[in-house]
Amino acid sequence: MNLMLATLIGLLFAAATYCLLRRNLMRVMIGILLLGHAVNLLLMSASAPLAETPAILGSDGKPVPGMADALPQALVLTAIVIGFGLSVFTLVLARSCFQGARIDDVRDLGREDEP
Amino acid sequence: MSELLVIAPLLIPLFALIACLIPGLGRGTSDAISLGAAVLVLLTASFLFAGVLAEGTRTLRVGAWVPPFGIVLVVDTLSALMLWISAFVAMVVLMYGVRAKADEDAPGHLHVLLHGLMLGVNGSFLTGDLFNLYVWFEVMLISSFILMVREGKRSQLPGGLTYVILNLLASAMFLCGAGLLYGKLGTLNLADMAQKLGALKDPELVNSSGALLFIAFAAKAALFPFHFWLPASYHRAAPAISALFAGLLTKVGVYALLRLFTLVFTAGHGFSTGLILNLSMATMVLGVLGAVAQYNIRRLLAFHIISQIGYMTAGLAIGGKVALAAVVFYVLHHIAVKSALFLVGGVLEAKTGTGDIRMHGGFYRNSPMLALCFLVPAFSLGGIPPLSGFWAKLNLLQAGVNGGHWLFLAVALVVGILTLFSMIKIWNESFWKAAPETGFSPSDPTPGRPMLALCMLGSLTLVFSLGGSFVFKFAQRAGMELANPDAYIQAVLRGGGS
């Protein structure tokens, strides 16, 4: 399971990097979305080795065996919500960039700044 | 009561934000609420600062969770100083007037975004928890994204998109670093992290998280090679907004670097600081060289932010209480000076209708007060004695001499001269030379009370300059606390102040 997860995360990071290096703005957007998934899975898997026993105790006052650490899951949930909001905003921004300034190539983003 | 004081810099902007959302609120009312909230935050920050000076570091355990569980808010001297100066800049910017012409019929929503931004900034200064820091960063960033592009001008969108994409990447790096660090240490509390790292047999393993977090903060602080978003976007936002960004946003990145790389990722824990010094020097040189080629006033100033950030992180890399005190003083001085210069740039743009300084001229004769308000911060930035930039650079160079960093000294001095050169360039073009015969085509009249705002920032710079030794005492105290993080760790884990 850990190996599968690690491979998946690696693949997602590779795909995200590939898309981010493209010049087409839409592909960059896809890259950002993929990167978000890769990071969330990484956060999730950080809790897998369970180096520390989780803060949840059973009724006998001892850590419950086989219990996952709840904190990383809470963190991932927060990260997903934030990532969702930001992705939507970025997509809208990219769309208005295309509609207003006719830009769909990242090289054109800095065009008007030439001194 | 004193616990309430710690969380007040978060509650006041939050309530102001909610108040400005009330439908049907008039333009004047929302302006008044906004300014009132900003003044209140400044007062709170002053009380908090006085309290920290008297009683030492204060903490607030949110929800009464005992550290290292739950989130803890911490105010030490550095946090208190940063809270105070950011509250001051926010107040001044609100006085300057944030409304553009397009905002006449939308009374509240601009203030909602501004207070959202201040909420994120204050939260970043207060929190003692790594993941909470991420959340505050996002609060700050989403507000800044919208403020950056909200006028919807065609020129704003591409720069805004660059800004958004690069900051999203940085946030992803931040999350990776935080997640891996949690996997290794099983804690998110910064003080607890420092303690657990000290007890670890293989602390060099966290170098990977350290590097990821460094990239994240360096991107927010606009350190080379992560700085490209800044000169592409800052000058395109409205003048008052860009002054707020220039003063605060990059400095939040610097604050996070200062906090984490003195507390958690220290040389004692096997983290290498040599890279930071080299990157800082590259940042200083490239920033100032970028500025030399520019003629758009605010874009030129944006390049100077990058170059000055290099000075601050170089001080962090040198380390030790002298260098860290110098960095704290540098940050304070820089926030006041940079916001003032961006506001002057805004006034000039409003008066001439263009940001190109080659088209300006004659403002020394026509508005001598404005010229003075430019001259004080500009010379301070260039490091002319007895202004605040001189004291900041002097102390930093002193720390460099003590540490034997000769290359840094040479770079710092050359960059200082080039900084002065481009300040003089603005002076010559905008103020000194005769006004162009074709005349200006003024754009929107400057909103609000720009001269009042400029005078306030100018006098703050003068206080930092003439009262340099007085202010430097606070910076020294902050530097001392950063160099000896044990007191911070004790205060967080055992409870201090409240």
SS3 letters across B228-285? CHHHHHHHHCCHHHHHHHHHHHHHHHHHHHHHHHHHCCCHHHCCCCHHHHHHHHHHHH
Burial (CB count <10 Å: 0-12, 13-18, 19+), residue A80 = middle
pLDDT bracket for residue B40 (50, 70, 90)? very high
The Cα B221–Cα B203 span in angstroms is: 26
Nearest Cα of chain A lies from the Cα of B209 at a distance, in angstroms, of 12
- A93, A95, A114: best to mutate for the B interface, most B CBs within 10 A: A93
**Closest by Cβ to A86, choosing from B142, B187, B295:** B142
CB contact under 8 A, B295 and A94: no
Q: Which residues of B touch A101 (CB under 8 A)?
A: 154, 157-158
- Report whether A54 contacts A70 (CB < 8 A): yes
Nearest Cα of chain B lies from the Cα of A115 at a distance, in angstroms, of 6
**Selected residue with higher pLDDT from B342 and B64:** B342
- Report whether B189 contacts B128 (CB < 8 A): yes
Side chain identity at residue B496, one-letter code: G
**Closest by Cβ to A115, choosing from B164, B178, B295:** B295
CB contact under 8 A, A75 and B182: yes
Q: What average pLDDT is seen over chain B? A: 85
- Report whether B261 contacts B271 (CB < 8 A): yes
Chain A CB within 8 Å of residue B158 CB:
yes
pLDDT bracket for residue A115 (50, 70, 90)? very low
Lowest mean pLDDT among B17-21, B132-136, B231-235: B231-235
- Stated pTM of the model: 0.91
Both tokens assigned to B141: 């960033």
Residues in chain B: 498
Q: Is the backbone of residue B65 left (phi > 0), alpha (psi -120 to 50) or beta?
A: beta
pLDDT bracket for residue A72 (50, 70, 90)? confident
**Closest by Cβ to A55, choosing from B69, B131, B293:** B69
**Closest by Cβ to B293, choosing from A69, A85, A115:** A115
Residue B248 above 70 pLDDT?
A: yes
Lowest mean pLDDT among A86-95, B91-100, B481-490: B91-100
Residue B426 above 50 pLDDT?
A: yes
- Report whether A41 contacts A5 (CB < 8 A): yes
Residue by residue, DSSP assigns B9-75 as HHHHHHHHHHHHHSTT--HHHHHHHHHHHHHHHHHHHHHHHHHHHHH--EEEEGGGPPTTSS-EEEE
Q: Which residues of A touch B182 (CB under 8 A)?
A: 43, 46-47, 71-72, 75
* Percent of chain B's residues with pLDDT above 90: 19
Strands B72-75 and B58-61: antiparallel
**Closest by Cβ to B180, choosing from A36, A46, A103:** A46
Residue B497 above 80 pLDDT?
A: no
CB contact under 8 A, B169 and A43: no
B-chain residue closest to A87, CA distance: B168
So what's the pLDDT on residue B355? 76
Nearest Cα of chain A lies from the Cα of B172 at a distance, in angstroms, of 6
The Cα B33–Cα B20 span in angstroms is: 8
Strand partners, B129: B189
Q: Which residues of A touch B172 (CB under 8 A)?
A: 35-36, 39
Residue A56 above 70 pLDDT?
A: no
Both tokens assigned to B99: 């409304």
Residue whose entry in the numeric block shows the structure tokens 């709170």: B44
pLDDT bracket for residue B119 (50, 70, 90)? very high
pLDDT bracket for residue B104 (50, 70, 90)? low
CB contact under 8 A, A89 and B146: yes
B190-206 tens-digit pLDDT: 888 888 887 877 777 78
Is the torsion defined by CA of B79, B81, B87, B90 positive or negative?
negative
- Closest to B164 (Cα-Cα) out of A66, A109, A4, A19: A109
CB contact under 8 A, B169 and A28: no
Chain A CB within 8 Å of residue B70 CB:
no
What ipTM was predicted for this assembly? 0.88
Q: Which residues of A touch B178 (CB under 8 A)?
A: 43, 75
